[in-house]
Structure 1
């Protein structure tokens, strides 16, 4: 009697994924690929906490582990799990397991709202009654890892990417949406839901972060009451709209200080601060140091890692 071949285990997928990421990311840092939505990250040592704004994306670790901190909440994930962010979220990331012999290896796959909406329209989502946090961690499954591995393997046949990559990307996010917590992600694509309104509010703040934020006007823009906006915004982001805007402003100011060599007062003014003293105070509270000394420390740390 013919016996069916056993299905590959999760560890086999992880090992092959790690091998391919090492191949396409031979040195430290972040590496873009011929698949626009896909990039890799490699690190051979644990990192200091790094402030970033996570885009709506799927994050998969093939080797190592990491902690993402959102408004004081720690989200741990490793090679047995994956993380999804459904909106732009200011998080602090820290790689917690990496070495030269066994480097940290991960990938990020950007989530297209159009792809998500199309999947929702062609399936019957299980709706979640409650607005949920805009970041979740789930256990990886063989079908999901199989699709991810096939996407990465396309990098070896570039002529196949235009035709096959969009299909596999859709499959990957279909698998994510069918997961145990998939209903928490569905809601961000469903027009009229509270989560969708918060997604629109976050998008507006990110586009207009340097402008004064009037909550009553923002509520009108996203068709929500002020009370509902505050309640659901905090559920999704773990912070208020004004706190969210402040962190986005400070992260943008840090980018300006690093890339344009501005003085602190000018950087603060560019992102919407009228008071240099308030800017310096809030900057130091978020990043641990005043603007100029923080930039020097950041550049010195980059030099030390080279």
Structure 2
């Protein structure tokens, strides 16, 4: 059997399994910790959110993800990895009732990656070459096989406690063995340039509503200000200020949708001192002023 046919068969089995355990549109948690199944039968609105450290494979349909000003397009036969938590905007761009978008997402941590590295003899550049924390690759048969075995545990759940951690570790192993494994490895190695940027990212995410001086972030990373800027942009495709701005605006949109509170209050809560500046930057990111955007989204969700 050729590799192409082998992969097609595995992708078809995964697609059927996702349809069986979703049943309707949305992101569906499973009995396997950190494993999610996704189905969408329509082209979606662009959705801005924090993309957790994760691996995602599409079995049907297509999706576009925007990180800063960098676009990632992927579909069947591809997978995308985020090696650190990142603010992104994602949109399903190919889906229909007859052929819905189907995807599988597996979240993991840097410590789980480090555990795999410590148990293998994988040798990269030891974290010296900072790389983008998000990448798209063509899925290989070995990785696809491990993903199918993990998802198939949903069919016989008594094996999940023992086998799921092993299959998850295997998935991380095959990603590390892939063409862009170094981008994942560098985030897990303590002391690497990328892991020091990860510490800065964690600080900004946990304190996004607070003002910061760039010198404070440089101290967290144990880098000069110029090195921090360079490595941060290599990892995230954004400057620290742009990164914080995306976090603030994403949280503001969530608050406006969830709580029906006024714009000035939300602007203040996410760290803005000027409502007019908040409205300008909100319009620039989402395409509409806050009130117009929220009313439009509520109408679409009805």
Give the TM-score normalised by structure 1.
Answer: 0.94
Let me know the Cα RMSD of the aligned residues: 1.4
Report the Cα distance in structure 2 between the residues aligned to 1:159 and 1:127, rounded to whole angstroms: 37
Map of 1:73 onto structure 2: 70
Whether 1:134 aligns to 2:133 is yes
Q: Which moved more, 1:220-229 or 1:24-33?
A: 220-229
Q: Who is 2:113 aligned against? A: 116
Helix, strand or coil for the counterpart of 1:76? strand
The alpha-carbon deviation at position 22 of structure 1 amounts to: 0.1
Cross-structure match for 1:259: 258
Aligned to 1:220: 219
Counterparts of 1:232 and 1:241, CA distance in 2:
10
Residues 62, 73 of structure 2: 8 Å contact kept: yes
Structure 2 unaligned residues grouped into runs of 5+: none
Match of 2:163 in 1: 164
| Structure 1 unmatched ranges of 5 or more | none
Mapped contact 2:64–2:92 kept (Cα < 8 A)? yes
Deviation at 1:270, TM superposition (A): 0.7
Separation (CA, whole Å) in 2 of partners of 1:240 and 1:72:
11
Q: Distance in 2 between matches of 1:87 and 1:282?
A: 25
Moved over 4 A (4+): 5-8
Q: Given the two structures, how large is their TM-score scaled by the length of structure 2?
A: 0.96
Deviations 1:170-227 (A, max 9, x none): 0001110010111121111111111111111111100000111211111112222211
| Paired residues, number | 299
- Distance across 1 between alignment mates of 2:274 and 2:190: 39
| 1:1-306 matched pairs, under 5 angstroms | 9-128=6-125, 129-303=128-302
Q: Does the 8 Å CA contact 1:213/1:242 hold for their aligned counterparts? A: no
Cα distance, 1:93 vs. partner?
A: 1.1
For residues 28 and 86 of structure 2, the distance between their equivalents in structure 1, rounded to whole angstroms, comes to 21
Does the 8 A contact of 1:52 with 1:90 survive in 2?
yes
1:6 shift after superposition? 7.1
